[in-house]
């Protein structure tokens, strides 16, 4: 990871860390997957994605990957900083699966839980964001 990407990731991790019970490895601001992605999401989640469960999470949502849990937070952007408002979800990390499809300007990923919930998200990857998104997605596999 280059120095600029490492600094961006550190800024997001630092914003979430005080609100989490375990060590945050990676964090990313994500949006609910849009309607243009519905076919892709359905394919990625084995047919379940068409009804991907995103409505009970805020949009946008701040996702943090910890050593033990994956967290979702409601937040407000404040310039280049983040105001973390409240925890919106928490799942044991070992029970999470992630499938992603990367395109030129957008990465879509579906986060699935062992209990059968699916959350579909999009993250912009243009203007140098691809390496940051790659580092975030890799944290799920550690």
Q: What is the pLDDT along the chain (142 residues), one digit of tens a residue?
A: 889 889 999 999 999 999 999 999 999 999 998 733 444 445 555 554 444 444 589 989 999 999 999 999 999 988 778 999 999 999 999 999 999 998 888 899 999 999 999 999 998 887 678 899 999 999 999 8
Measured CA to CA in angstroms, residue 105 lies from 15, 25, 27, 127, 133 at distances of 25, 24, 19, 8, 11
Do you find a cis peptide bond into 3, omega within 30 degrees of 0?
A: no
**In this predicted structure, what is the pLDDT of residue 50?**
45
Which residue range forms the structural domain that includes residue 68? 3-139
Residue 47 backbone zone (phi > 0: left; psi -120 to 50: alpha; other: beta):
left
Stretch (H or E) spanning 4 = helix 3-16
The burial of 12, by beta-carbon neighbours within 10 Å (0-12 exposed, 13-18 middle, 19 or more buried), is given as buried
Count of domains observed in the chain: 1
Q: Where residue 71 sits, what CATH number does that domain have?
A: 2.30.29.30
**In this predicted structure, what is the pLDDT of residue 44?**
53
Reported pTM: 0.83
């Amino acid at each position: 990871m280059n120095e600029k990407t490492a600094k961006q990731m550190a800024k997001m991790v630092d914003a979430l860390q005080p609100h989490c019970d375990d060590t945050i490895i990676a964090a990313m601001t994500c949006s609910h997957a849009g309607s243009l992605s519905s076919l892709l999401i359905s394919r990625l989640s084995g047919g379940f994605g068409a009804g991907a469960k995103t409505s009970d999470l805020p949009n946008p949502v701040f996702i943090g990957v910890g050593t033990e849990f994956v967290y979702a937070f409601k937040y407000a952007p404040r310039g280049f900083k983040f105001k973390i408002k409240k925890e919106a979800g928490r799942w044991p990390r070992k029970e999470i699966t992630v499938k992603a499809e990367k395109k030129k300007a957008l990465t879509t990923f579906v986060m699935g839980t062992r209990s059968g919930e699916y959350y579909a998200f999009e993250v912009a990857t243009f203007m140098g964001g691809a390496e940051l998104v790659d580092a975030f997605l890799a944290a799920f596999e550690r």
